[in-house]
């Protein structure tokens, strides 16, 4: 009998068993992740330089995320000068509705790709549920404004702003975010951070050869 961890890896597609030998090898999800990692290597490197510069300019924590089979995944997290009520690990998956990053992906990726992930998150109690009309209004505003902002959606006392980054291929390549303690997020600071964030996301998009939304 296979060890329990192998059973779990097979279940999520990270491993598969060859027949008739019974040996295990990388599964389809692992192969997709590998291909995606190769494709995104240059994209992440370019975006990282901009994200660090944004952190240095604003003194606030910045992050980068990508899309995965389970939803948005943090691939870079650079702490700023302001303590946050959370410790985030690279590789953490974010809820689609409750996080600013998740809303960016919901707004800019095809619903055929995002809706099954959203339903799976909701079944596990990871993501909130919104009426379809309310959700569409939220996503319309994200597309219109070029950013998403949530306050206490995932962690009480933490506000997050995110913007999409586009590359030469279809859809969103990455999401760029800023995390801010809610108690210091005045209206003027919020406007300033949104301007810095969206400008930086546009700069990354241009460097990656992507098209800015019109």
The alpha carbons of the chain give a radius of gyration, in whole angstroms, of: 18
Q: Where are the domains of the chain?
A: 40-207
Domain 40-207 in CATH 3.90.470.20: no
162, 147 in Cβ contact below 8 A? yes
Q: What is the pLDDT of residues 185-208, one digit of tens each?
A: 999 999 999 999 999 999 999 999
What is the reported pTM? 0.79
Task: Give pLDDT tens digits for 60-81.
Answer: 999 999 999 889 999 999 999 9
* CA contacts within 13 A on the Cβ side of 168: 7
Q: CB-based contacts of 161: which residues, under 8 Å, 6+ apart?
A: 100, 147, 148, 149, 177, 178, 180, 190, 193, 194, 197
């Amino acid at each position: 009998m296979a060890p329990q961890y192998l059973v779990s890896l097979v279940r999520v597609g990270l491993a598969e068993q060859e027949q008739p030998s019974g040996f295990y090898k990388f599964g389809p999800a692992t192969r997709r992740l590998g291909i995606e990692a190769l494709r995104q290597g240059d994209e992440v490197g370019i975006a990282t330089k901009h994200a660090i510069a944004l952190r240095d300019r604003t003194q606030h924590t910045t992050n980068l995320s990508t899309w995965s089979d389970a939803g948005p995944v943090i691939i870079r997290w650079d702490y700023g000068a302001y303590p946050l009520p959370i410790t985030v690990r690279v590789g953490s998956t974010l809820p689609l509705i409750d996080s600013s990053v998740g809303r960016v992906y919901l707004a800019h990726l095809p619903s055929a790709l995002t809706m099954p992930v959203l339903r799976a998150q909701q079944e596990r109690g990871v993501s909130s549920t919104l009426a379809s009309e309310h959700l569409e209004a939220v996503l319309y505003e994200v597309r219109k404004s070029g950013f998403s902002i949530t306050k206490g959606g995932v962690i009480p006392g933490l506000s997050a702003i995110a913007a999409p980054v586009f590359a030469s291929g279809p859809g969103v390549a990455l999401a760029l975010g800023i995390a801010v303690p809610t108690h210091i997020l005045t209206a003027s600071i919020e406007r300033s951070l949104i301007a810095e964030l969206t400008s930086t996301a546009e700069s990354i998009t241009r460097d990656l050869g992507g098209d800015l939304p019109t």
